[in-house]
């Protein structure tokens, strides 16, 4: 009789009323193997087959609940998200040199924020009053940004997040899908793959992706907001990311390298960039509203947008951004709109 069985019978005698032992019990130390008899079911009490080893079953159940167990590791490897998650983790910067690949100074952050602006949306443009034009402008801007993969990766992330905000705001689903399709097509996805379920997965995956970035900020600081620059295929990974994938990535975040060079990368937080893309202080939107839409369940952690002065970074300077509307610019815009319409 094992030590566990011995204690079970004598501490809870009512549980052993239907059990008989083939030999007298022996008290063993915890480190000493038992040589006593094995408890069997009393045939007079139970007429069915012998019960299974509950101790073994409990152990197996415990192992199944352990994210680090071999069985769960094997099951993770069979999931469709597993290769995408591994690729994502491998592309997260692992040294100061990696983190400095695209941004090394706050001037670089300032320049990047400026390049994320859409020049044809002047101050005062209300995106919620004309979502189709907003999506067309985003598609045109993304087409140009795709010449720079890191910039295109980040802007596509912002574009899809803005589509989600538009849907919540009441934009017709047909128009939202049109915007999503224009964005994902620019990311190299084949036309026959642009189904409505796939577009919904991309849109919902961005919400998961924002949650992952927020978790990374707890490990590496605000520079975690730069990760989309380093992972061009993050949209593809996020669309496959279910709760198990999220937990898998979260369990590996402790291995991430925290950069030693501080930058004002809080300006690159996705909700903040979406807020600015939709017009910032010139629009009807408030930063907290955007954050609640894009970070459901985390409103208690949302920092006040007033604590970050974005005026010198993101707001339009009319002296720099007023554009002369010549014929060539009209031609480019018409071409971009035709691409989005197709």
What own/partner pairs with CB < 8 Å and gap ≥ 24 does 332-337 have? 332/140, 333/120, 333/140, 336/136, 336/139, 336/140, 336/143, 337/136, 337/140
Dist. CA 212–CA 294, nearest whole Å: 12
Q: Give residue 3's pLDDT.
A: 55
> What is the band of 72 on the pLDDT scale with cuts at 50, 70, 90?
low
Token code pair at residue 228: 């989309």
Dist. CA 62–CA 71, nearest whole Å: 11
Residue 39: helix, strand or coil by DSSP? strand
Q: Give residue 279's pLDDT.
A: 85
Q: Name the least confident of 46-60, 193-207, 310-324.
A: 310-324
Q: Name the least confident of 23-27, 66-70, 105-109, 170-174.
A: 23-27
Q: Give residue 244's pLDDT.
A: 92
* Mean of pLDDT values over 303-308: 43
Q: Give residue 297's pLDDT.
A: 74
* Mean of pLDDT values over 171-200: 90
Residue pLDDT, tens place only, 128-169: 778 999 999 999 999 988 889 999 999 999 999 999 999 999
| CB 312, CB 267: distance < 8 Å | no
Q: Give residue 126's pLDDT.
A: 72
* Domain boundaries, given as residue ranges, for the chain: 3-51, 70-341
Q: Give residue 79's pLDDT.
A: 83
Residue 26: helix, strand or coil by DSSP? coil
Q: Provide the percentage of residues in the chain whose pLDDT is more than 70.
A: 63
Q: Give residue 2's pLDDT.
A: 55
Average pLDDT over the chain, rounded to an integer: 75
Higher model confidence: residue 258 or residue 25?
258
> What is the band of 92 on the pLDDT scale with cuts at 50, 70, 90?
very high
Q: Give residue 52's pLDDT.
A: 45
Whether residue 90 has pLDDT greater than 70: yes
* Mean of pLDDT values over 264-275: 95
Angle, vertex CA 216, rays to CA 214 and CA 220, nearest 5: 125
Q: Give residue 44's pLDDT.
A: 45
Q: Provide the percentage of residues in the chain whose pLDDT is more than 90.
A: 47
**CB under 8 Å to 180, separation ≥6 — which residues?**
160, 163, 199, 202, 203
DSSP annotation of 258: P
Strand partners, 306: none
Q: Give residue 108's pLDDT.
A: 96
| CB 181, CB 194: distance < 8 Å | yes
């Amino acid at each position: 009789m094992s030590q566990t069985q011995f204690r079970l019978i004598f501490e809870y005698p009512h549980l052993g009323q239907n059990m008989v032992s083939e030999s007298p019990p022996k008290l063993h130390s915890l480190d000493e193997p038992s040589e006593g008899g094995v408890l069997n079911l009393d045939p007079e009490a139970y007429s069915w087959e012998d019960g299974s080893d509950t101790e073994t079953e409990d152990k197996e159940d415990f192992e199944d609940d352990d994210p680090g167990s071999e069985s769960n590791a094997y099951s993770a490897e069979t999931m469709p998200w597993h290769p995408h998650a591994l690729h994502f983790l491998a592309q997260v910067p692992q040294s100061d040199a990696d983190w400095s690949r695209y941004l090394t100074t706050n001037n670089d952050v300032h320049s990047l924020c400026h390049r994320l602006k859409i020049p044809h949306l002047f101050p005062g443009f209300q995106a919620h009053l004309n979502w189709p034009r907003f999506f067309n402008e985003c598609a045109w801007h993304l087409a140009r940004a795709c010449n720079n993969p890191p910039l295109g990766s980040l802007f596509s992330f912002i574009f899809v997040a803005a589509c989600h905000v538009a849907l919540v705001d009441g934009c017709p689903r047909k128009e939202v899908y049109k915007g999503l399709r224009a964005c994902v097509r620019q990311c190299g996805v084949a036309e026959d793959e642009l189904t409505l379920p796939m577009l919904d997965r991309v849109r919902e995956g961005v919400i998961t992706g924002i949650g992952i970035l927020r978790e990374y900020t707890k490990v590496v600081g605000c520079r975690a907001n730069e990760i989309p620059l380093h992972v061009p295929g993050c949209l593809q990974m996020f669309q496959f990311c279910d709760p198990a994938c999220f937990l898998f990535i979260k369990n590996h975040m402790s291995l991430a390298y925290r950069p030693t060079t501080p930058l004002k990368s809080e300006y690159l937080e996705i909700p903040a960039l979406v807020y600015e893309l939709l017009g910032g202080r010139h629009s009807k939107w408030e930063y907290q509203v955007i954050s609640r839409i894009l970070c459901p369940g985390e409103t208690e952690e949302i920092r006040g947008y007033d604590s970050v002065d974005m005026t010198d970074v993101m707001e339009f300077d009319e002296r720099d951004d007023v554009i002369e509307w010549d014929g060539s610019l009209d031609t480019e815009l018409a071409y971009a709109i035709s691409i989005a319409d197709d």
